[in-house]
Amino acid sequence: MLKKRIIACMDIQDGEVVKGINFIDIQRAGDPIALAKRYAVEGIDELVFLDITATIENRKTLISLVSKIASEINIPFTVGGGISTKEQAVALVRAGADKISINSAAIKRPALITEIAEELGSQCVVVAIDTKFEDGKWWVYSAGGRIKTSLETEQWADEVARLGAGEILLTSMNNDGTKEGFALDITKQVANKVTIPVIASGGAGEVRHFEEVFENTKATGALAASIFHYGEVSVSELKQTLKNKNIAIR
């Protein structure tokens, strides 16, 4: 059984870490290099860097910043935002990323998943799925949560796994930033549907929420942002509590 991972996410806008609620109301949260170094020291298992406006601004991920962060940390580092070609993915791995996260580009051209997987290996390919519950179903959104697609979340997750993704980063837009807990229903559905690891994202507010997602779904990772950025939850205390609950973690 895969041990559970605690993952910190840094949403980057204009070179700074930011955080929003339900993908809007964006606020500054700090310097990415300083935060990344702090997380590595505190014992975070993995770090995710998402350049959240790269796609809508039609530009590449901030590769120089990726390189600087990678040189300062010794934990697995996933990078996403504006990646639309195999060549861009390769450049980011050369800059120090361990894994590449794609979202909108994969929706537009699903073959990109296979191309990057064949070049770098499936273990390097994370497909981020932003999902929103409305009209009785979970729908996939693209462009940083701005555009609703015709894709249903569970079916899209199955498709990206088939195409060669090594992992899914599943973010509930309904729960994002609310600190009221992860979306257990869709996380459970997706994690049951696919055989690749699923990271739960959106809604973490306290230690109990991590317990819930690990005890009630097959998610192998749980991601949070603001509660770690602002020191509301201690990484060491979170891990100790999970261990006390007999949840196998890294």
- Rounded to whole angstroms, the Cα distance separating 117 from 113 reads 6
Q: Is 51 a catalytic residue?
A: no
Of the residues 14, 130, 158, 185, only one is catalytic, namely: 130
Task: Tell me if residue 28 falls in helix, strand or coil.
Answer: strand
Task: Tell me if residue 36 falls in helix, strand or coil.
Answer: helix
- Which token pair is 83? 């990646």
- Return the beta strands (E) in the chain as ranges: 5-13, 16-21, 24-30, 46-51, 77-80, 99-102, 125-134, 137-142, 147-152, 167-172, 198-201, 221-224
Q: Is 25 a catalytic residue?
A: no
Active site residues: 11, 130
